[in-house]
Chain A
Amino acid sequence: MRYIRPLSIEDAAGLLAGSTGTAAILAGGSDLLVRMKGGFIEPDLIVDIKAIEGLGEIRETAEGFSIGAAVPCAVLGESKVLKKAWPGVVEAANLIGSKQVQGRCTIVGNLCNASPAADSVPALVAAGAKAVVVGPGGKRTIAVEAVPTGPGKTSLAKGEIVEAILLDKRPPRSGDAYLRFIPRTEMDIAVVSAGVNLTLDEQGRVKSARLALGAVAPTVILVEAAAEVLIGSRLDEATLERLAKVCSGACRPIDDKRGTVEFRRKVAGVLAKRAATTAYKRAGGK
């Protein structure tokens, strides 16, 4: 096995593209090293991307925020401006693992590990976040929901690296929120999760909405029907009931040790209602 720490993203992509055998990208390592330890992966090449300039930074741009692939989730929680603009994204990222794991894990790693239960992904999908993908063919920007294609699988080609996550600047009267269900208070994997992002009009009616559910399908799912229910409403009781029904219906869950199909469907509806209510309040709705 070789360990290489390139100084440019192009070199990193070139190393991955030119590799024979199994190659892995190392940022925080909180998934990769566990998989190595468990014997699930034996990389011939590890490309550590943390020395690449800019990848460890959160940048404020004219369009919004660019969060580098090597930024640990703990740093997201320490960024006051990011937390103010996207509290739901930050609360989701900060739910991953312990303080120790927070010091290492990244949202790009969470996305590319492609677990349907990844905590930051529903919040990112709801936020309409984009992934900047760099590869041998150049650079492209895609919706985050286009990255995972199934448990442990992504749409990224050989040699491609997600360099950063982009979040838009917030229009006035916007708010987002993320909630997950776990059987304890921390340090666990989501049984069901929901991310909601809303923008209100001047009358406090929902103008635009995005809602994503986690751990209820092979990938995190964007529930477009949920947005249709929310738009135009002031989140009255009848709207929330319809929202819960639509979200329960959008689930395609499995039975496993964490929860049954029936339980996941029901909880998806409950979490959708609660996350929508929090996002609405954060957006200034009453």
Chain B
Amino acid sequence: MAGVAVSTTINGDTVEYLCQPDETLLDVLRDRLGLTGAKEGCGTGDCGACSIILDDRLVCSCLVLGAEAEGRHVETIEGMAHGDSLHPLQQKFLEHAALQCGICTPGFLIAAKDLLAKNPDPTEEEIRFGLAGNLCRCTGYDKIVRAVQDAASVMKGA
């Protein structure tokens, strides 16, 4: 079966790939492009581990077809740090130990980045609601919420 030829922008770079018409963007990122930061948790849009930003919208990449990325802008966790310097959210997740097994972390970081871009000074409640689409089975969420609050105050001062 012939593939679909896609030309898209991922983390600022033009990327071209061939994918099957029923292949998800998550599978394209992981299996064709070697961008394995986004994780498959549930594959049905419930856990948020595959979160990416597609044209400034936070989405689950498991619920997007690879073919749909044509001509669009994709941001993944791989584009979050600049070289060796971590994004404030990444730094604060480390400082607050806001991760244990790490599977949910890329999704949380992307979702938190989207949250702070739209609401730079969120309340705890807004953070909890904003990140309700991301599941973590290790931390109990408190450390994640504190890391996001701390990152928000650092980013406001920047």
Q: Given known contacts A3-B65, A3-B67, A37-B44, is B60 in contact with A101 (CB within 8 Å)?
A: yes
A-B contact count (CB 8 A): 87
Which of B1, B20, B45, B68: most chain A Cβ within 10 A? B45
B81 contacts the other chain (CB 8 A): no
Q: Of A25-33, A57-65, A120-128, A239-247, which stretch is located at the interface? A: A25-33
> Is A72 in contact with B24, judged by CB distance below 8 angstroms?
no
Report A34-74 CB contacts with B as 1/0, cut-off 8 Å: 10111000010010101000000000000000000000101
Q: State how many residues of chain A have any CB contact under 8 Å with chain B.
A: 28
- Using Cβ atoms and an 8 Å threshold, which residues of chain B touch A99? 58, 111, 114-115, 130-133
* Nearest chain A CB to B75 CB, angstrom units: 13
- Using Cβ atoms and an 8 Å threshold, which residues of chain A touch B4? 3
* Nearest chain A CB to B156 CB, angstrom units: 21
Q: Given known contacts A37-B44, A99-B130, is B62 in contact with A74 (CB within 8 Å)?
A: no
B35 contacts the other chain (CB 8 A): no
> Is A103 in contact with B65, judged by CB distance below 8 angstroms?
no
Q: Which residue of A lies closest to B115 (CB)?
A: A99
- Using Cβ atoms and an 8 Å threshold, which residues of chain B touch A286? none
- Using Cβ atoms and an 8 Å threshold, which residues of chain A touch B44? 34, 37-38
A232 contacts the other chain (CB 8 A): no
> Is A100 in contact with B60, judged by CB distance below 8 angstroms?
yes
Q: Which residue of A lies closest to B44 (CB)?
A: A34
> Is B21 in contact with A101, judged by CB distance below 8 angstroms?
no
A259 contacts the other chain (CB 8 A): no
Q: Given known contacts A98-B48, A98-B133, A99-B58, is B21 in contact with A29 (CB within 8 Å)?
A: no
Residues from 88 to 135 in A contacting B, C-beta threshold 8 Å? 97-101, 103-104
* Nearest chain A CB to B109 CB, angstrom units: 14
Q: Given known contacts A1-B21, A30-B63, A34-B45, is B58 in contact with A103 (CB within 8 Å)?
A: yes
**Which one, A29, A97, A186, contacts B129 given CB within 8 A?**
A186
Residues from 107 to 134 in B contacting A, C-beta threshold 8 Å? 111, 114-115, 129-134
Q: Given known contacts A33-B63, A34-B45, is B21 in contact with A97 (CB within 8 Å)?
A: no
> Is B57 in contact with A101, judged by CB distance below 8 angstroms?
no
- Using Cβ atoms and an 8 Å threshold, which residues of chain A touch B65? 3, 26, 29, 33, 46, 48
B29 contacts the other chain (CB 8 A): no
- Using Cβ atoms and an 8 Å threshold, which residues of chain B touch A1? 1, 20-22
Q: Which residue of A lies closest to B110 (CB)?
A: A100
**Which one, A3, A97, A104, contacts B64 given CB within 8 A?**
A104
B28 contacts the other chain (CB 8 A): no
* Nearest chain A CB to B23 CB, angstrom units: 10
> Is B68 in contact with A50, judged by CB distance below 8 angstroms?
yes
> Is B64 in contact with A100, judged by CB distance below 8 angstroms?
no
> How far, in angstroms, from A242 to B130 measured CA to CA in the complex?
38
A187 contacts the other chain (CB 8 A): yes
Report B4-45 CB contacts with A as 1/0, cut-off 8 Å: 100000000000000011101000000000000000000111
Q: Given known contacts A30-B45, A37-B43, A46-B21, is B68 in contact with A101 (CB within 8 Å)?
A: no
> Is A100 in contact with B58, judged by CB distance below 8 angstroms?
yes
- Using Cβ atoms and an 8 Å threshold, which residues of chain B touch A98? 45, 48, 132-134
Give the 3 A-B residue pairs with the shortest CB-CB distance, closest first: A98-B133, A3-B21, A103-B57
**Contact surface of B with A, Cβ cutoff 8 Å:** 1, 4, 20-22, 24, 43-46, 48, 51, 54, 57-60, 62-65, 67-68, 70, 111, 114-115, 129-134
20 more CB-based (< 8 A) A-B contacts, given A26-B65, A29-B64, A187-B132: A5-B67, A30-B63, A33-B62, A33-B64, A38-B44, A46-B22, A50-B68, A97-B45, A98-B45, A98-B48, A98-B133, A99-B114, A99-B130, A99-B131, A100-B60, A101-B45, A101-B60, A103-B54, A103-B57, A187-B133
